Amino acid sequence: MLRYTILLFTLFFCNSIAAQDSSFKATIPSNSSYLGYYIMEITPPKLDSAIKRVKKIVPETQEAATSTNLLSKQQINHLHEEEKFLYYLYYGDHLAQFCSLTIYSVHYNTAIWGRLPRLDMSRLWSDEQIAYFQQHRDSAIQYLQALLPTSYFGHNAQKLTILLQANELIPTIIERYHVTKSKELLSITLQLMLQHNFLQQVAPKLYKTLYENESITRPNYLVYNDKNVQQVITLARQFYTNYPK
Radius of gyration of the chain (CA): 18
Using the predicted structure, report yes or no on whether residue 114 has a pLDDT greater than 80.
Answer: yes
Tell the burial category of 99 from Cβ atoms under 10 Å away from its Cβ (0-12, 13-18, 19+).
buried
Interatomic CA distance for residues 145 and 143, integer angstroms: 5
Q: For the segment 101-112, what is each residue's pLDDT rounded down to a tens digit?
A: 555 555 667 889
User: How far does the chain reach from its first CA to its final CA, in angstroms?
Assistant: 51
Q: For the segment 17-72, what is each residue's pLDDT rounded down to a tens digit?
A: 333 322 222 233 333 333 333 333 334 455 667 767 777 776 554 455 555 667 78
pTM of the model: 0.74
Around Cβ 237, how many Cβ atoms within 10 Å? 13
